Structure 1
């Protein structure tokens, strides 16, 4: 068994996860924690990291170091993104972290940041062609994916924290400030990602801002599940939320359902950056990813260390649906003989009755998954497992 810790230190927050890899190569998330540190606060004026943010980050890292020792973590992979990359004192800060905590953090380039975010998405969402963005505190990584391969990728130096500071969007905002900000963001897109204009592809969003927008949409529609990953925000509803955000002040935003109070001062800038990107690319809906850079770090390590199915080595899972079901069955130690019998019978009935039901290859694949998972409800309640499995 192996425990892998991953630390993702961004401009706004620092994230810590521990993944466990069992002896049978199944993996699952064992622990996760996130803290707001605001490293990038004020950096657009000073060019340096926020001093209070530096101390908050160090306090978190001391805690994470202790937790790794208690949890007997065998490997730690730590990365830092735009704030540490762009600040004049970023290098000194990374050295201080090493001296005080013993944690070695790699400051990654914008291109590598985009690539790791892409790995987090391509291995967990079954889309082949899309525009992906990862919005952080000091930058937004935008990528074009064709046939599940990344073909364009650029880190644009605008983020929720830096844009909030530059246009004073933290509290009440004026229409003039909104207009100036929108023009600034669009010029950046025209300058740095001209290949993304008018693509009319699905848009997949990564980062705390888009996750908060999804929670707001779920609250407004009384959505029954709290899951964010793979949630779709229709363009019309996103525009309604966007309008309400830019017309509000800080105190009213803090009362908005679904919006985290710690992000209420940054949501205006974040919403403008995303809305302008949607207009620029011609995207119709936003697919929200709960997986991002830290998941990409894990998939890169796992794929090259352990591989996927049939000995395939590499950071990209060949078939997301099959791999996720396979990993679930291994980690849950299911009764494979019984499940295989149910699967075989279900597919046999499907094939023999195909002339009557006219099902597609995709339907057959989903039936196979349903057969593998038909007993999964037992982890909730054995005596009512059929309903829980169906849900």
Structure 2
């Protein structure tokens, strides 16, 4: 799949698709057209931190300020969609809208702002879409894959079978209601201290141990043929630090095989920077300072429970999965 920041012309008459992910922390849009048998060319993109889940863990509801930020971002996305003859718009919302008591009312506002329907998807579908987008990074010889997605309001883990003639298949999934936004709101700057960071790691690891007990993932890893894959700002930041990038580059990071020793050193480097160092780093920036170490604590819990030899870094997720699914469905409909 191509870069999600390219802005390219397409042949006249080529079908255009859009995918929007309204998350707990970000609002992201891709507009693309099919390219080749199973890929696409990105025409336009949008990404803005909206902190939709701000205050949700304490009040159970979306705040007026958060809804206003999201609405403004959705209006900007709607303007992008209006500039192109987009035939299919797939827009989804995730954990914040699943949990909020005022979620249904907000969704009506959100749809008006975007000018298109938005579905609130369950956690399992979220994992399925991430799996679909990351499947092209699997390699021959992989029997299983463990895919993690550290979000704003939750962390999804997908356990995937990859050794059959069919497409990769989801064996099991878990959604832990701890993400970078929920941890920031609950624990504040705790992850900047050694003790606070370790407490979060042990709490999250305990949630994952239950999932491992059902599926025996550690045992499968010891047998070999299991690929650990990560799709989130946390894992792409770790890769950017490990590669010592002067600025973030999707082309350098997406699909990179990050050795665990390199990931460990990158994690320690991030923990040693402090807030000012994180804000100044070209792969992070001031808007993401509060979220980096909470995400790293969740990653460290994954690292503790499932000690793989490395991580396949995926700078792709829900939007790419939505696009691939929509394009595949259209091809099937044409053949029918």
| Alpha carbons of structure 1 residues 63 and 130: separation in structure 2 relative to 1, 3 Å | same
1:13, 1:37 within 8 Å by CA — same for their partners in 2?
Answer: yes
**1:135 matched to which residue of 2?**
150
Q: Secondary structure at the match of 2:280?
A: coil
The equivalent position to 1:263 in structure 2, one of 283, 288, 291, is 288
Q: Deviation string for 1:254-310 (max 9, x for gaps)?
A: 2335323322211101011011102101212111112211111111111121159xx
**CA deviation after TM superposition for structure 1 residue 248, in Å:** 4.0
1:213, 1:259 within 8 Å by CA — same for their partners in 2?
Answer: no
| Alpha carbons of structure 1 residues 124 and 23: separation in structure 2 relative to 1, 3 Å | closer
Q: Secondary structure at the match of 1:123?
A: helix
**1:283 matched to which residue of 2?**
308
Paired residues, number? 309
Q: Secondary structure at the match of 1:216?
A: helix
1:175 aligns with 2:200: no
1:196, 1:281 within 8 Å by CA — same for their partners in 2?
Answer: no
**CA deviation after TM superposition for structure 1 residue 27, in Å:** 3.6
Q: Deviation string for 1:58-88 (max 9, x for gaps)?
A: 1111121122111121221100011111111
1:246 aligns with 2:271: yes
Question: In the aligned structure 1, how far is the partner of 2:41 from the partner of 2:313?
Answer: 21
**1:155 matched to which residue of 2?**
175
TM-score by length of 1: 0.72
1:219, 1:257 within 8 Å by CA — same for their partners in 2?
Answer: no
Alignment of 1:317-356 (within 5 A): none
Structure number with larger C-alpha Rg: 1
Structure with higher RCO (Cα < 8 A, 6+ apart): 2
**CA deviation after TM superposition for structure 1 residue 22, in Å:** 7.4
1:169, 1:269 within 8 Å by CA — same for their partners in 2?
Answer: no
| Alpha carbons of structure 1 residues 303 and 237: separation in structure 2 relative to 1, 3 Å | same
Q: Secondary structure at the match of 1:219?
A: coil
**2:127 matched to which residue of 1?**
114
2:148, 2:229 within 8 Å by CA — same for their partners in 1?
Answer: yes
Task: Extract unaligned runs of 5+ from structure 1.
Answer: 314-391
Question: In the aligned structure 2, how far is the partner of 1:27 from the partner of 1:224?
Answer: 19
**CA deviation after TM superposition for structure 1 residue 34, in Å:** 0.7
The structure 1 segments of at least 4 consecutive aligned residues displaced by more than 4 Å after TM superposition are 22-26, 220-226
**CA deviation after TM superposition for structure 1 residue 44, in Å:** 1.6
2:127, 2:156 within 8 Å by CA — same for their partners in 1?
Answer: yes
Task: Extract unaligned runs of 5+ from structure 2.
Answer: 1-13
TM-score by length of 2: 0.84
**CA deviation after TM superposition for structure 1 residue 98, in Å:** 2.5
Q: Secondary structure at the match of 2:243?
A: helix
| Alpha carbons of structure 1 residues 260 and 224: separation in structure 2 relative to 1, 3 Å | closer
**CA deviation after TM superposition for structure 1 residue 21, in Å:** 3.5
Question: In the aligned structure 2, how far is the partner of 1:255 from the partner of 1:180?
Answer: 27
Q: CA RMSD in A?
A: 2.7
| Alpha carbons of structure 1 residues 15 and 223: separation in structure 2 relative to 1, 3 Å | closer
**CA deviation after TM superposition for structure 1 residue 192, in Å:** 4.2
**CA deviation after TM superposition for structure 1 residue 226, in Å:** 4.4
Question: In the aligned structure 2, how far is the partner of 1:22 from the partner of 1:235?
Answer: 34
